[in-house]
Amino acid sequence: MERRRSWQPVPDALRVGLRSRRHKEGTRLLAAFGFEALGVVVGDMYFIDPVPLAGQETPERGVRLELRLVDRAEPQGSIYAGVPIAFTRPVWRVDIFGSTESPPGTLDRAHHHPRFDGWEPGPRHFVAELSADPLSWLADQLADPAAVLARAGVDTDEVTEADKTGLAAAAPEIVAVVKRMLDGVRDGELAPAPAEPVAAARTGWL
């Protein structure tokens, strides 16, 4: 487990691709799964920390998964109107990352954030099983939503049994999406580096 450090906001001039879906240097993807009050979002990411911890000075790329609370409103108009759906506050994050200086497909920075304080994640947790086999570890976690939610400190009245059973049932499909994105990152199709050298970067949807 890492020590916690204070996050330093990234100046606007250093923010890269926060809202972009397609830039000239590549594509960013977002996949979403919604249940009742819970949802899962998955996206590729290229990340440069402006104030990295020791041993994490090089850029990272890979796939981020977040378990988030979901807010579904009533149709905005007639019965045919669109329904606003918002994936709101994250409660758990998994970053299946690798250093850009490691061979493609090496996931030597894989970690997770078991708990959030509002929108801010807690420190990175490196787990031996996650480092050894990220997809199998992720499948095991998704198959036991109650344990994930308990570690995250989510109140029982914030989610439903349908959320937990739905998430567990969808675990194989979610892991398959993560694998496809990781393959895209490995092959250079996803999580592209910024076109110009920058001091900090956070590309992708998440």
- For the stretch 194-204, pLDDT in tens is 888 888 988 89
What percentage of residues in the chain have a pLDDT greater than 90?
Answer: 65
Mention every residue, 6+ apart, whose C-beta is less than 8 A from residue 5.
51, 53
> What is the pLDDT at residue 7?
36
CA distance 31 to 87: 12
21 vs 29: which has the higher pLDDT: 29
**Residue 25 banded pLDDT, cuts 50, 70, 90:** low
> What is the pLDDT at residue 156?
83
CA distance 170 to 63: 18
CA distance 43 to 17: 13
The beta-carbon contacts of 131-134 under 8 Å, at least 24 apart in sequence, are 131/107, 134/96, 134/107, 134/110
Mean pLDDT in residue range 39-43 = 97
Mean pLDDT in residue range 107-128 = 95
Report how far Cα 163 is from the mean position of its chain's Cα atoms. 19
Mean pLDDT in residue range 20-39 = 77
Beta bridge partners of 31: 42
Outline where DSSP puts E strands in the chain.
22-23, 26-27, 30-34, 38-48, 60-72, 85-99, 111-113, 116-117, 120-121, 201-202
> What is the pLDDT at residue 30?
95
CA distance 14 to 31: 26
Q: Which helix (H) or strand (E) holds 128?
A: helix 128-132
Tens digits of residue pLDDT in 74-116: 888 898 888 889 999 999 999 999 999 998 888 999 999 999 9
3 state DSSP class of 27:
strand
Tell me, what amino acid is at 203? T
Q: Residue 93 is encoded by which pair of tokens? A: 């994050």
Question: Residue 16's CB: how many other CB atoms inside 10 A?
Answer: 22
| pTM score of the predicted model | 0.85
Tens digits of residue pLDDT in 58-72: 999 999 999 999 998
